[in-house]
Structure 1
Amino acid sequence: MAVAGYQILLDGLVRTLLLSVSCIIISLCIGVLIGIMQTSKQSVIRSVAKGYSELFRGLPIVITLFLVFFILPEAGIEVNSYISAMIGLSLWSSANISVAVRGAIQSISPTQVEASMALGLSGLQTMRYVILPQAFRRMLPSVIGLLSNLIQTTSLSILIGNLDLLKSAQILIERVEIMEGGAIAFQVYSLVLIVYFIICYPLSLLSRKMEKKLA
């Protein structure tokens, strides 16, 4: 491949990484909040949070992407394919993260909450200073695994026209085959596979290592 071909792939990789980082930040913020809400003593808050989690975990990711991409413009909210992908993937990943957060919080002994209250801490202070620091360590392995899956799942954004690494590979293949008449699909897709492996495999190893350490 010529230098221009590598530049096309590099642009796609940058967009994929930007999309991944954006989704990670958004989904962590929303997922932690929804996870905390699922442990609320107020049934309305708990039900709304669990409904959010079950809805976006139950829907296929592709359907969520299509819903965001096609319904928001109908509601008068104009979004491009990149923003649509970011919203759709963030909804899916935050729902999954919220389950990990809820499980981690519920794994903390209730006696610690009682002891914190006895020391004069409010419910918010107990959650912030006692529960969440411990829950964070327990949920970290599963969250890292989810983030690895999120990076891989960004490839589905090609279905709504987002120009990611996979889409860039397709463009490069079509351009070379039209202009030069050569078939380079195997080489290009092999390179894309290697890139995803380099990004995701270390995260998978880290997740397994932390799970063993916590066990």
Structure 2
Amino acid sequence: MSPGLIYANAVFFLRAGGISLLIFFFSALFSIVISLAFGSLASSQNRALRAPARVVIEFFRDVPQIVSVFFVFFGAPAFGLQLGPVEATIISLSLWGGANGAEIVRGGINSIPTRQFEACRALGLRGIDAFIFIILPQAIKPVIPAYGGLCTVLLQSTALGALIGATELLKSAQIVIERAAFAHGGMPGITVYGFILVVYFTISSGLMRGTRLIERAFRPGRQRRQP
């Protein structure tokens, strides 16, 4: 099958890629919010806050993503919610990403020396003020590599939306293959799926490179030699 098939469906693939990026953007955004909230609760000294947070985190971490996608999409009507494929995919990936991100945040907070918490108390900072101004800035640096990897997985997981009808990259590939096979015969799968593979590889590589640049930006600068 000629690569002309890709060119002929370029607009369709571009729209599907936009939907994939839309799913990824909001999934990553909501995951960050959930991660910070539950990661801080899971690190709390208050057992009444810590224990329920850990239960929620472990539940959504242990549920396979594909099960979560199906549960949200088909289970939402039972709660009076009518979700489209894109919305259901975003919610399910956000829950999974938030749970895994919360564990990353919790590890980052736990890596902070105890003396930093003692310094907060000495300065009169408690609760949310201590977390925002002292703890969180120090916890960001060690979690960047792990969170970059999590975001890459979220990007790749947008393909799960195809299972419930979201017209993202994988679904668009399936549609193009079916149309081409019906109209012209042959086996266009190798060309179309090869193109999708290259697209995911390119975007994921760019995302990981961006993560490394952010990580490098948080490294302490090298001290200049004294003359």
Work out whether the TM-score is over 0.5.
yes
Separation of aligned partners in 2, 1:7 and 1:173: 15
Q: In structure 2, the residue corresponding to 1:77 is in which secondary structure?
A: coil
Separation of aligned partners in 2, 1:79 and 1:115: 47
Contact 1:117–1:123 (Cα < 8 Å) also in 2: no
Separation of aligned partners in 2, 1:44 and 1:123: 15
TM-score, scaled relative to structure 1 = 0.93
Query: Aligned Cα RMSD in Å?
Result: 1.7
Per-residue CA distance 1:3-41 (angstroms, 9 max, x = gap): 541112111111000100010111111111110010112
**C-alpha displacement of 1:208:** 6.2
Equivalent positions of 1:168-187 (< 5 A) are 168-187=172-191
How many residues are paired up? 213
**C-alpha displacement of 1:125:** 1.5
Residue in 2 that maps onto 1:74: 78
| Identity within the alignment, % | 36
Residue in 2 that maps onto 1:188: 192
Contact 1:68–1:88 (Cα < 8 Å) also in 2: yes
Separation of aligned partners in 2, 1:197 and 1:151: 10
Separation of aligned partners in 2, 1:75 and 1:123: 35
1:111 to 89, 94, 115: 115
Larger Rg: 2
Residue in 1 that maps onto 2:45: 41
Q: In structure 1, the residue corresponding to 2:43 is in which secondary structure?
A: coil
1:96 to 81, 94, 100: 100
**C-alpha displacement of 1:52:** 1.1
Amino acid corresponding to residue 106 of structure 1 in structure 2: N
Equivalent positions of 1:143-182 (< 5 A) are 143-182=147-186
Amino acid corresponding to residue 75 of structure 1 in structure 2: F
**C-alpha displacement of 1:181:** 2.4
- Any gaps of 5 or more consecutive residues in structure 1? none
